[in-house]
Structure 1
Amino acid sequence: MSKIEFNKEQLAAIQFLNPSYSTEDIQSFVNLENLNNLSKDKLLLVLDIANACYRSGFPIVTDNEYDNKLLKELKARYPQHSYMYKVEEEPLKDSKTVTLPKRMLSTEKAYTKEDIEKWLKRILKAAQEINVPEQDIELRVTPKLDGYAAFDDGTTLYTRGDGHRGQDITRAFERGLKVANNGDRGLGPGEIVIKKSYFDKELSNIFENSRNIQAAIIAEKKVDENVQKAIDDGACVFYPFAQIENKTAHFSEIVENFESIVEEMWNAVDFDVDGVILETTHSLLKEHMGATRKNHRWQIAFKVNEESAEVEVKNIIPQTSRTGRISPVAELVPTKLSGATISRVTVHHYNMVKTKKIGPGAIVQLVRSGLVIPKIEGVIEEAEPQLPESCPSCGSHLLWESDHLICPNKSDCPAQTENTLIHFFKTLGNNDGFGPKVIEKLSNFGIKHIHEIYEIKAHQFASYGFGDKTSQNLFDQLQASKEIQVEDWRFLSAFGVSRLGGGNCEKLLQHHSLVELFDLSAEEIVKIDGFAQISAEAIVEGLANVKEEFFKVYELAFNLAITPKESEREDSDSPIAGAVVVFTGSMQQGSRGDMEKHAKSLGAKVAKSVTGKTTYLVTGEKVGETKINDARDKGVKVLTEQEYLDFIG
């Protein structure tokens, strides 16, 4: 492995580990081909850096390289070094450590069947020592979830930390995190994970891997809105080890059918898996074997070696996703890895194509571990990067949005049509009839625009395959969606313009009316606090793309609640005018959404999470003391729901 080039996320993890580390110095010796020339201190530093980057979600080495190169080099030189018995921590910034209710260790790792058989011999030897018959020795095999290790005692959720002391992350449950399979709290050790199917469908174009999301779920500060949605959708869960899918059988059956059992467990759950865990179920054996300072002796993790190959890129093919992001797919010279022939692989985003210089003729390092989707680990030989000039679906001019190229044509891009319709009705939020299945059915009959749906008569729905009762219900739902009042910022946000989420829509509408927005220049938008030049330009182009469709829908006379202008807010004599208010917990006098809407009408700014700028935290039922104390520590005034209602009169 050649010298490592760190990305910004890896550098951030290293700086958190030790702010005094010099990037140049680190890059001069983080080289796995040169380990035997490193001093002890530098070798330990490389181990710390590799672990920090892995925990941050942006690893610089594979698990196999960490265990069988880095740790192996340290063990060869210093067999009794304390690092060999250290539980790798998952530290959080600015979080205090607390004692775990029960010791929580790492798991010994094996990479071959022979390693498993050696471990099993230790099990059998221990059984002989305490006279446990071989016929009583069963093994439990479970998927090894690739998540964020945690411990739940029913009241507090802890990180694993160093195995003895972790950090309080109960806020994850307060944010809506659920126990897997609707399980109960208090089941001990487990992993915070996100459903693989959900990640692939909803988040793979936003986050590089699921570990980025696991860390975001428990972050001290405000949760990314995409991560919060995943929590709300039930895709992020705490999965207790006690509840996980498993296969338990006599050890001889496990050994005889080892490969098939590994494959079965690998596919047993809809979460990222990086191996399987084997453990004896015999309580006396467990007690007798005990644990080292780092691992339980009666348990082992089997991990599949990663295979890699240097492969030539033939072409970079752009594909428009349903959200408008353009995904680069590398067409490769067919190569066999882990028993499969790989000819195509998705590159994470076009900024990677541009900065890593990936194009026809480039040589990339392709990595595949067992049944895992292959990925490009690095670029061996660069080439002229291959970037598209227009959307492959509709031919529209593309925009850069962070690391991604996106198509701003929400109304007429065939690849985005269905998602645009789904997004409109979901964001509008005032009718239940037009979910993904109904939209898919209408889309298959050539309905491509929002206004076309509103033109459908009750009897016409029947010609699209709906029953008479459903047809009437759908028609009634459309009428209701026009009559039930909805905020004008929500109506605008429903058109899916890039960089115009609900917050930005509300900011714009505090200064200009809906109709006026379409005549604004980027320079006029930049004058509004919170908008940079690039965002303003993207908003102007996005509004231009949806203008025709917007006014066709707008002229259907929706019942829109107009956002108060900034000047009106400042003049309000309400006690919360200009204050920043956060609502949390279950409210009794109305839904949280209703209370937020009312607070805005009184001139308050409503936020979703508590910061140093928050004025009031209004608490309903089932709010943890940790959240309340954290708010008070930031100088925020905490009010119960009734105290708040009395305060605003």
Structure 2
Amino acid sequence: MKARQPSNECVALSVCIRHLFQEFVLLLVIERKIVKSLSKDQVKAIQDSGINCEIRKVEELVSQEDILSLGEDDLVLLAKIANATYRAGFPVVSNVEYDTKIIAELERRNPNHEFLATVEPEPVPLYKTVPLPEKMLSTDKVYSDKEIIQWIERVEKFGQEIGLDSGEVLIKVSHKLDGYAAYDDGERLYTRGDGVRGQDITRAFNRGLKVAESAKRGMGPGEIVVDKEYFDKELSGEFENTRNVLASVIAEKNVNSKVSKAIEDKACVFFPFASLKGWIGSCEAFKKQYKNIFDDMWGGGDYEVDGLVVEVLNEDLKRLMGSTRKHHRWQVAYKRNLEKATVVVSQVIPQTSRTGRITPVAEFPPIKLSGATIRRATLHNYGMVKSKGVGKGSIVELVRSGLVIPKIEKIIEGVDPEIPELCPSCHSKVVWDGDNIFCPNSTDCPAQAENTLIHFFKTMPNVDGFGPKVIEKLYENKITKIHQVYNLSVEELVDMGFGEKTATNLVDQLKLSKIRELEDWRFLAAFGIPRLGEASCEKLLSNYHIDEVFRLEVDEVASIEGFAETSATVICEGLKDVRSEFLKVYSLGFRLSKTKQSKEQLSGLQLDGLQVVFSGTMKAASRSEMESNAKKLGAKVGKSISSKTDFLVVGDSVGEKKVKDAKTKGVKVLSEEEYERYIKMQTDFKKS
């Protein structure tokens, strides 16, 4: 029988299917090509760091050009991956891209995120950690003249508090070495680790590592570095970069023979920061000529550098300025990023944040800038949009900076902008507050409520499973408050569409989070009160117990060192807003460890725990000097009188109303002389 021939329609269909299949295969090939493959060394660095993630997922993250499209969890994961591979010497992104792209975007979204308060570790896998002799914090970074001036002004302000003028404050500028951070106490050499605990790598000294500049051992923090010229001549053929060499310097065993030779030739050394040479002069002189100083020092030195470090040398001023959980306030690293681009804005989109502030985001056609494809840029506020004319068709200049990625540097050509009248999330009528517009609907605005839940569970370190997708599903089922989440049962979660195993795990995690011990300052920070990040919460709770803070008045918060009156006002308003929800959650019985009270820390000082207000013109010193001295003696200094004020100290020209108000509230009024006698009497009493 003759075989039946296929119809023309079947042939056409067959050809069409074959072409479609070929195109599909081609698309798969193309997709696989744009996903970066990790090297064996990068994979090992990630595994050694303890990051638990599929390698395919890692490859997709590091291939992502539009950083703004990543969720917050993925952004943090990418930061950890970038840090681990960079520290190991096999970076998936550059140091500049890490600072100005990943970290800056995380800062924009969630400036109080726990990761931002964590010192990036120098990982050495598989070894036990030990306490460092002193904390080794990261160095904060600035990228512009404006930021340098702001830092100088802060230094000057702190200096005035202890009687130092700008000519008496000493500033040092030195190279920021790009090596392997370590600490030498004279007996052991430690990695920086997480800034509090590191690992013992004294073996590097035992195998011949020397201290740079023929300096002695025991000079504290520094960097293990490799001479650039020596690396180019002797090591570059075998090692991709200097960090690969440093990994071998501190390895437990199997040290590369060429690295051993480099140690012997003193090309690999430990360089204490205290031995770094540089420019030293007064703050006054630095302020006048910092541009020339930076230009003269930029790019010099025998070792790899990553900018310039500017720091205060006066020990008493350094103690006063202190540090955040991550950075010393008395030093900054200055970096340069000179690449710019001009773009035409396609549109400005409003986005409602957790605090209700509506942020303008400018969108434009994709453009390459400093190695990244940029499609959006967050503007400061709608005051800027209004005054500068940023909108569809406006022409702006972009830069990649450490503040915001990317940052609109200037407006070249403005337009008549559109200002939203309604919240994009709940459609409530917006209100202006200075240069910002806010959604006043804090209780029912979806963006605020959902983001508040996300922030709470992101900040709480003792509960897992409540990521953005879970929170989104809860919100869809009318769960909008933290206490509602904690009251959920397995059955209710199953009814919402969660699997029984997932629902059981979520409920178990909620129960465990109440049993596991948690710092009280971290618990308070989880409620996302404006101006109360983790460091500020810790400072607040070192002065007041957690069950006292919701009764605080503005002057009581402002009297705490580090809190300005403006911040105190915002904090008190924020505390009032969350009080009801906080008490409902707090009453569930969390196991909170109390922050050590400053009253306990200051025990024995003459004004220990007293609240003092100064008014009028003082004779012995200026009022600000009197306030500063009172703080050093343990007092809480306020600007206005409350029922909790202990003393009103009056000088000349004090208002009668203030004195009368003090007496009405039972506050003791002291003249300047009586105040000084009281301090002397307390001093004599403490000595006896």
What TM-score comes out, normalization by structure 1 length? Answer: 0.46
Bigger Rg, which one: 2
What TM-score comes out, normalization by structure 2 length? Answer: 0.43
